[in-house]
Structure 1
Amino acid sequence: MHGYELRKRLNLMLGWSRVLSYGSLYPALKKMLRQQLIEETAPTKTPVSRRPKIVYQVTEAGTAEFERLMSEVGPAAWEDDTFDIRFAFFGRTDMEIRLRVLEGRRMRLQERLDRVQSQLSMTEAEVDRYAAELQRHGVESVEREVRWLSDLINSERQAAPAAPTPPVPPAPREEGTSTTSQTSGA
């Protein structure tokens, strides 16, 4: 895709809460070009008065790097700056990784919620009603996201295929007992 189309697609995927600007897109594309994660392909034909559009294509190294990044499950995967992007690509992620990222995000938000709720009662007496209302709004938003994450985790677990049951080993034989097999000629 060319830059304009890429920005439009990413903004559609990420939703209203995260808008990708040209000021962040093009430096990222240049960096990915230097790292050979993407490459420029032949520009599309445009009218003479316009500059040709540069079209970018993911390289094999870019695909491998994407897969590596999507398989990481450490704290960077559930932080505010990266979680939305990771979540947008969950369809290409293994279920175990999805669960670990969702659980990590929920744990991080629950820690934040506990901290803010303990401070909320102390600060309500010290701030005006608008600041207190903003804090309550923040608490409600985090509580809503924690519930959403819990629902997603439960849904993932319910959709998980049941682990195969291991074969049952044969019962031990008593000494002195022999087993013979009879075959019938059929």
Structure 2
Amino acid sequence: MLEFAVLGVLHEAPMHGYELRKRLTGLLGAFRAFSFGSLYPTLRGLQCAGLIVEEDDDSDRSWGRRGRRVYKLTAEGKERFAELLADAGPQTWEDHGFGVHLAFFSRTPAEVRMRILEGRRRRVEERREGLRAALARAGDQIDRYTRELHQMGLDTSEREVRWLNELIAHEQADTPEQTITSDASDTSDHPDNKGEADHG
């Protein structure tokens, strides 16, 4: 998912490594912890794959000093980002993937957003039901603190389901109704209209 995040951020504009780190922290910080130690190996991998290039930033060049290097998407990198953006598979419903995809929802097709949200809701509902069953089975066999820990997880899952329900409702409300067209609705082909035209 770090590959997707890097491509998405660089899709906005070329960036220095430090700027990229700051942008990723702001983008992903609310959803997951990410290791800076994994960023530069990811960048090298993307370069080797031809998805990004590293260039001199001429705007940052001063007399007698080499400009800093910036990372920039290639045409192949833009294509790869579009492919990942359209992905709504099970990995996008999991904790490590959902937040990253959500961060780029403004650029994600509406039908893909809906599939990801519905998939995430199913995943969280499964987790919620599992926690409920575990609490019911445990009964008095667990101490109060362990029970509170499980209860906190259950409450968190229930809140997320409500939040997802709201997001899905907003998506449904924002989706324009498709105009249904058919031969029967085309008045120019209607037999009565043809007759009127002949009589005219």
Structure-1-length-normalised TM-score: 0.86
1:121-153 CA-to-partner distances (Å, cap 9, x unmatched) read 222422221111111101111111111111000
1:17-57 CA-to-partner distances (Å, cap 9, x unmatched) read 42333212111111111111110011443798x99633100
CA contact (8 A) 1:7 1:21 kept: no
Runs of 4+ aligned residues of structure 1 deviating over 6 Å after TM superposition are none
How far, CA to CA, are the matches of 1:53 and 1:125 in structure 2?
A: 62
User: How does 1:62-81 map onto structure 2 within 5 Å?
Assistant: 62-81=77-96
How far, CA to CA, are the matches of 1:122 and 1:18 in structure 2?
A: 31
Aligned to 1:154: 169
**1:34 aligns with one of 34, 44, 48:** 48
How far, CA to CA, are the matches of 1:47 and 1:173 in structure 2?
A: 81
User: How does 1:95-110 map onto structure 2 within 5 Å?
Assistant: 95-110=110-125
Tell me the number of residue pairs that the alignment of Structure 1 and Structure 2 aligns: 179
How far, CA to CA, are the matches of 1:51 and 1:110 in structure 2?
A: 54
How far, CA to CA, are the matches of 2:178 and 2:76 in structure 1?
A: 34
How far, CA to CA, are the matches of 1:117 and 1:51 in structure 2?
A: 60
Q: What letter matches 2:114 in structure 1?
A: L
Greater relative contact order (CA < 8 Å, ≥ 6 in sequence): 2
1:125 alignment partner, SS class: coil
Structure 1: unaligned runs, 5 residues or longer: none
2:53 alignment partner, SS class: strand
Aligned to 1:163: 178
User: How does 1:118-157 map onto structure 2 within 5 Å?
Assistant: 118-157=133-172
1:42-73 CA-to-partner distances (Å, cap 9, x unmatched) read 1443798x996331001111110111011111
Structure-2-length-normalised TM-score: 0.80
| Larger CA deviation: 16-25 vs 83-92 | 16-25
When Rg is computed on C-alpha atoms for both structures, the one with the higher figure is 1
**2:131 aligns with one of 113, 116, 125:** 116
Aligned to 1:5: 19
